[in-house]
Amino acid sequence: MLDTAAPRRLPLAAGLGYKPQHFAGLMADPGPVRWLEIHAENYLGAGGRPLAQLRALAERFPISVHGVGLSIGGERPLDADHLARLRHLCDWLQPASFSEHLAWSTHDTGFLNDLLPLPYTDATLARVCTHIDRVQEVLGRRMLLENPATYLAFAESDRTEVEFLSEIARRTGCGLLLDVNNVFVSATNQGWDARAYIDAFPLDAVGEIHLGGHDEDRDEHGRPLLIDSHGRPVVGAVWALYAHTLARGGPRPTLIEWDTDVPPLPTLMAEAARAGALLSPVEAAR
Amino acid sequence: MTGQTAFAAALLDPSAPVPEGLRDPFGGPAGKRFDVYRNNVAVSLTEALETGFPTVRRLVGDAYFKALAGVFLRAHPPSDPRLASWGTTFPGFVAGFPPLARLPYLADIARLDLGLRQSYHAADAAPFDTAGLAPAAVLALKPRLAPATLVLSSRHPVHGIWRFSHAPDAPKPAPGPEDVLIARAGYDPAPHLLPPGGLTFARALKGRLTLSEALTRALADHPGADAAALLTLFLTSGALTPDPA
């Protein structure tokens, strides 16, 4: 049963992926940062500084809980213990949003700590929808599902990623988290048209946008291979794709993700301010 | 094998061929594109171990630690997504890893790193506050060890090695056994050298004895124990929490 009366919402403004080294800075002066996102798996301990910081942040900022380990695309059933831990976190924190990935990360061998790809077929669609139904039932809230950054294709896929995500949203009632950098990375790696992807995307279902940086590599044939590293500024082409997305779909809470080689807070705030500047005229025009 | 079984097996085995059915976008074999996932798994799990076992890493060096992590993560991948609780089997793995036999203390250093991390994430507890109480009244109390308090016993000078590896101007560790008290004052756990009788004292407090009774036991086991030093360590390190009863 879904609790559609979510207690809080993310604002139509820029947010930041939270890093503990920026706790004092954000508490002293958040600048353009209006909300924060945490990785759920870092806040499942019994106590200590992580939970103390999160409690203090939650008094100042709307919080988005972003899971990176639920393995919603996994062939195995969802890990009931992990889902119960996520529910505990959502119950005490009452976050403004909960999101996870269209990916898998756990198999019989264990937790592989990466967002692994899946083929887009009837069988995987049915499995993912069953898992999302379960997540929404246990958490008692609507979740957002994020589009992946992918590096390869499956011969057995028989529909596009956008068709696959649209059908998941339609069947389960879940919202979508549109990672615009992932769209750019996947489109480059897969030979898709990134704008056409956005134009076909069910933007009405989008509850949040992610922006981040990627690394550039090449495959063994010299073709570009972009890696979703979250370790650099958002590139110009992704800012342009983001502006295109806003123009088509309207403003959405937008997160700056920077997870490796994390820079000082002012650098992150500058990225957030840039997203905010693109968001506010759209918001003002509506 | 199902798709994900084959995928997962090939991820963890760099010498395995890329699984069937994976393509580059132009219909060719996935090739190097599969290696992106292999690399993500190995690098991210190696980083988790580097964060979790910083002293072991300092002692064996960055390159050796990476190689060691590569063997461990394939033999003992995380069983659930909480990476902060991964690695409880790492000390045993280090102890049984033949090339490390020349560093017999390393497994206990891994236990110390693990204990510090467990202490960091342990449940919060009220501090044991004795302000305004007469010494006799304090000694009659039955504090408990806080959830973030751990004790570790070693045949090696683990506290000295830990201190020396983090502060090179610290005295060089002297051979011999050492016991360590890990305690968290506020949110920062620290390892303290447990003086003689300390292990007995901690065990007695776990057994719900008063401070006075615990000191008596420590002195019975170690007649030369310094009762004042023991008491001061436990009262000032954040190791204790009031008895809720």
Q: What is the pLDDT of residue A3?
A: 39
B17 touches chain A (CB under 8 A): no
- In chain A, which stretches have pLDDT less than 50? 1-7
A88: helix, strand or coil: helix
B121, B156, B177 — which closes off a domain?
A: B121
Query: Do residues B40 and B94 share a domain?
Result: yes
3-state helix, strand, coil in chain A (%, to 5): 45, 20, 35
Verify whether the Cβ–Cβ distance B8 to A108 is below 8 Å: yes
Q: Is the ipTM of this complex over 0.85?
A: yes
| Residues B107, B17 share a domain | yes
Task: Report whether B37 contacts A115 (CB < 8 A).
Answer: no
Whether residues B22 and A152 touch (CB distance < 8 A) is answered with yes
Instruction: Scan residues 1-30 of A and list those with Cβ closer than 8 Å to B.
Output: none
**Do B20 and B69 sit in the same domain of this protein?**
yes
Q: Give the nearest chain B residue to A40 (CA atoms).
A: B82
Q: State the pLDDT at residue A283.
A: 59
Do B167 and B220 reside in the same domain of the chain?
yes
Question: Smallest CA–CA separation between B151 and chain A, in Å?
Answer: 18
| pLDDT for A282 | 65
What is the structure's pLDDT at A8? 72
Residues B117 and B127 reside in one and the same domain:
no
Q: Is A254 helix (H, G, I), strand (E, B) or coil?
A: strand
B121·A190 Cβ contact <8 A: no
Instruction: Write down the residue that tokens 């793995």 correspond to.
Output: B93
Which residues in chain B are closer than 8 Å to A112, comparing Cβ atoms?
8, 11-12, 41, 45, 77
Interface test with A, best of B24, B79, B85, B86 (most A CBs within 10 A): B24
Quote the strand ranges of B122-215, DSSP E.
Answer: 144-145, 150-154, 178-185, 188-194
Distance CA A198, CA A183 (A): 8
Q: So what's the pLDDT on residue A109?
A: 87
- B59 and B153 together in one domain: no
**Per residue in B92-135, pLDDT tens?**
999 999 999 999 999 999 999 999 999 999 999 999 999 999 99
Question: What's residue A27's pLDDT?
Answer: 98
Q: How far apart are CA A258 and CA A236, in angstroms?
A: 16
Number of domains in chain B: 2
The two structure tokens encoding residue A12: 């139509």
Distance from CA of A17 to the nearest CA of B (A): 18
Fold of A14-284: TIM Barrel (3.20.20)
Same domain, B89 and B136: no
Residues in chain B with pLDDT values less than 50:
none
Residues B163, B79 share a domain: no
Answer whether A118's CB lies under 8 Å from A73's CB: yes
Please answer whether residues B33 and A151 qualify as being in contact, where contact means their C-beta atoms are separated by less than 8 angstroms: yes
Buried/exposed B62-92: b ≥16 CB within 10 Å, e otherwise: eeebbebbbebbbebbbebbbbbbbbeebbe
Q: B1 with B114, same domain?
A: yes
What is the per-residue pLDDT for A286? 54
Instruction: Answer yes or no: do B94 and B169 share one domain.
Output: no
CA of B65 vs chain A CAs: smallest distance (Å): 19
**Residue B231: CATH number of its domain:** 3.90.930.50
Q: What is the pLDDT of residue A284?
A: 53
Looking at CA atoms only, how far is residue B21 from chain A in angstroms?
5
Q: Do the Cβ atoms of A55 and A76 come closer than 8 Å?
A: no
Residues B105 and B172 placed together within one structural domain of the fold: no
Domain span holding position B140: 123-245
pLDDT of residue A78: 97
Q: Which of B71, B94, B121 is the last residue of a domain?
A: B121
Interchain pair B22, A153: CB under 8 A: yes
Residues B56 and B164 in one domain: no
- pTM of the model as a whole: 0.95
Q: Nearest-CA distance from A66 to chain B in Å?
A: 13
| Residues of B in Cβ contact (< 8 Å) with A47 | 121-124, 147-148
Best B2, B33, B79, B182 residue to mutate vs chain A (most A CBs within 10 Å) = B33
Of B63, B87, B121, which residue is a domain's last?
Answer: B121
